[in-house]
Chains A and B, each alone.
Chain A
Amino acid sequence: MDPIDVLEKAYNLFLVSDIIENESDIDKELEGLLADRDYDNMAKTMIYALIYTLNNDPAYRNIRQIYINEAIDLLYIIDRVGFDDEKIMKKFVNLLYQFYSYSLQYKIKLIADKEKRELVKAKLNELVDIIRS
């Protein structure tokens, strides 16, 4: 499993869905980290954005607790062994999969916009395919 592949697909998903809340230029930051092949910091930055969204957006009230726990767990493990490890990448993909599946059902932005919805589904499949293969 290639970490760049995982992160690139995760980043694409992040861009097309446009549901992760952030105050700063996180897109640019992620783009830079991807170009630098800085796996750990890129994965961590995406996890921070995910926690931020789960914590602040009431649409995620029902899943907030469990997914934030998983996200913190993942940060902890990345600190310990780095992102470039199959178990960790699977855990990362799994967390994103759950988050986006939920978003497709409960996020009005994705429910209302059919085109966007299909695009997110397609990108999500591409991401999940990496761990299936």
Chain B
Amino acid sequence: MDIKAILEKTYEIFLELGVFDKISLVYIFVVRGIDEEVKNLIEKGEYEKAMRKIIYTVMMNINNEAMYEEIRIDTMNKCIDLLHGIDESKIDAWDNLEEFINIVYSFSLYTLENKKDLKTNKEKQELINTKLRELVNIYKSNIAWTQ
């Protein structure tokens, strides 16, 4: 299973969606952009940490942005279950990876359809749609690989 490809694609999608910008963690120790951190962690091969930070990003967005109210309860519950799942077993456990892609995909699609500056930017919409299709393709090839 290509965890790196999944995380890289997610990182690219989140950058285009602009969802990293909304993060305002009150870091006690280091104040730095979470996007940079995710990028560095993927490069260093620290996939579990990268994955956790992406999940925190989703949680922060749905908790703080009113546009996510409709999906907040369900998505937040899924994120907590996934964090718990990652703590209990390896991140490359197929169930965890599948749920991760599931959360990223539906959160991204919802953002794409509801965020004002994205709704009016056709070029960006196409770019993000392409990347989402690429994520789905990675997922499909991983299913083929596990069977």
Contacts and interface: CB of A to CB of B under 8 A. Distances in A.
A59 B124 CA distance: 40
Contact of A65 (B27, B63, B77, B87): B63
Contacts of B87: 41, 44-45
A87 B63 contact: no
B106 interface: no
B56 A55 contact: no
The A contact surface, by secondary structure, is helix
A48 B76 contact: no
Nearest to A75: B56
A106 interface: no
A80 B29 contact: yes
A56 B76 CA distance: 9
A45 B64 contact: no
B118 to A, nearest CB: 23
B64 A69 contact: yes
A44 B76 CA distance: 15
B90 to A, nearest CB: 15
Interface of A: 41, 44-45, 48, 51-52, 55-56, 64-65, 68-70, 72-73, 75-77, 79-81, 87-88, 91
Given A75-B52, A76-B25, 8 more contacts: A51-B59, A52-B76, A55-B80, A68-B59, A72-B56, A72-B60, A75-B83, A77-B28
Closest 10 CB pairs of A and B: A55-B76, A68-B63, A48-B80, A73-B25, A73-B26, A72-B56, A72-B59, A52-B80, A76-B25, A48-B84
